[in-house]
Structure 1
Amino acid sequence: MDELVVGTYEGFLLGYSVYSENTDKKLKQTFATQSHTAAVRCVSAVGKYMASGGTDDKVVVIDLKTRKEHTVLMNHDGTINAVAFTHSGTHLLTGSDDGSIIVTRTGNWQIEKKWKKAHGGQPVIALAVHPSDKLALSIGGDKTLRTWNLIKGRPAFTINLASKGVTMPTEIMFSPGGDRFSLVSQQTVDVWTISKAGVEKRITCNSKPTSVQWISDEILIVGLENGNIVALTLSDTQAQTYAAHRQRVKSLYFENNTLYTVSSSGELKVWLVAGSKLNEICSTNAGCRVTCLTLNRQNHLVKKEEHIDEEGTVENGESDDANSVESDEDVEKESPPLKRKPGAFVTISYNSDDGKEECTPPVMKKSKKRKRNKKQK
């Protein structure tokens, strides 16, 4: 089963897996690391990498095969509020209180784009990457919704959220199909439709909404400040409420008919989802104040004989080359590197932008360069 990974206010990243004991399901801790010196604010995972951002201004990249620190990016001058990998795993987008959005290429961890004043110099609150990887959305302290063209590497358009009746936006999330996205604000969850370029439905909650997960293009789950979670279908007016936690729901994550929920008290729960019906499978308490949540889908790549040492670090986590995220074929496809103009950073197209912004390399650990055969004269 997939591995649940949570970030905490105390700076820890904790991993948990579901296991069977007799006829019951239980959560057990699989690893623990404290790469941050302050609270973890956000976390994202794709393939073999997981990135977390915190109030220590750092983006820490973890290798999920070994559960060890891979590199640290120190490119922002403020709290990291959002980290989001592209779905193809080629790039990492980060947003910060310093007002910038930075796009970093995975692997060599070089900056390929930086919007220094993405929201007019105001903090970047949240980011979401479209399933196609062609565009991204961001919300900021200037109360605007901005669209970023990930093919051309430049901003596309801006919407003033105040004109739409949206106050204090906190989270943005695409639906699985990508035509809809949810926008969480002070007391409402707005469902927007890209094809219609506007709000399709406004959901008013009896408690402040904190997080949203799409079960399908029609069904979504909303976590609330009072600890409840609400399951609703867009075509219906009725919503089903579950008393999930005693304290605020901090984050939700849905994958493979399974919903993971965490609360500010440190409680973690796993739910089986059937349509809009939820059935609790198991729960545990992290003993820390949980702030964010993601899923390690590559848990099967870690050898079963690995063990957790006294510090909570999983050792001997070598992977099977046959199941490796980066196969030999993938490496061959990447080499030789594509020639592209500055500003274009998504591998869909590189010849449609004439961006002139220069990028400086990030401060991080040095990576080994591949040896190239010298050309014969």
Structure 2
Amino acid sequence: MVQFKQNIRGNVALGVNPLGLKQEVLNEIDYVKNKGPYEAPKKVLIIGASSSYGLATRISLAFGAGADTIGLSYEKGPKSERNLGTAGWYNNIAFKEEAEKEGLIAKNFVMDAFSHESKQEVIDYIKNEFGGKVDLVVYSLASGRRTDPDTGETYMSSIKAIGEPVVGPNINMQKQTFFTETLDPATDQEIHDTVKVMGGEDWELWMRALKEADVLTEGVLTTNYSYLGTELNHPYYGGGTLGRAKADCDEKADNINALLKDINGKALIVVATAVTTKASSVIPFFPVYCIGLYKIMDEKGTHETPIMHQDRIYREMIYGSNPEYDEMGRLRPDSWELDSDTQAKTKELIMKLNDGNFNSDMTAYDIFYKEFSNLSGFMVDNYEEQDVTIEELKALEY
């Protein structure tokens, strides 16, 4: 029988519990079902659908709005008891199994979303097996590298400051330590490469390919998740390479809006709140911001996990009656995080943290660590230990 062990290197999760991941998907489905049904598009393509925001979006739209979904991701299945594959692989399988029980279409594509070939394969599926058109396209791809489909050149992203180094506190979940870190400024090449990977270029390529193939409905909506943050994390996020990539998404949204004008389509940037993801866990200084922010928001009753946040975005804002837009037309569900009192109390708390108290009741370290563990199938609510063989895991179909 396979033994599941949580393995963390720094703030990177290496081990997975496939059965725990399935239970976490079930928990998120139950959350959506308990909120009741809502009206939203019924044919949805989600690019980056296997974890965090993408998975939560897919669960909300399927089990809240009854949507058929296509999910695209780049994941790996199990090879041995020592190499069980990636969390997203099992998330895809669990979602598909539960969606099909509801009579929904849940097509999983496991491929390189950046390639022209992948775009064409998805387009062919939409035309031949998915009713011909989609009315919502969600772009939620998170990757540290991208190969340009036209030039073949591969770019790597860099999470760095711009202009001057940034010095601040960080935590190491593996060693359970609190330390001071220096984030070096990026070179012009690193800024350029980060925008190529994490900016909006591929989003625009997807929308052009889908439009040219005539698989978008009249009035189609496409969303892309962004994050702006606050003055507390601006030096290393909004003012760094990540901020440049997010600004590029704003520019590409304008291009897509022009592209979709003749079919009354719309590109919408959704400025999301701070949540625990595999990506956010490795952003320098960000975990410290989270354990402070979560403590304050949890006390106020405004802290959200990805499924809570995404369900609110689609149920109450995009397809509901309570949207909040800024002057640039971006949806702003991050208003709870940006609340002035919340930010002031978060700043005050963070300033008091040190190696002796960062993981105490003074902070929300316990919440952050649990949510981080849930991403790999550990510390999952309602989970019950079961025996499973590697052969049974290999036999699962995505």
* Fold equivalence (TM over 0.5): no
More helix by share: 2
Structure with larger RCO (C-alpha < 8 A, sep 6+): 2
More strand by share: 1
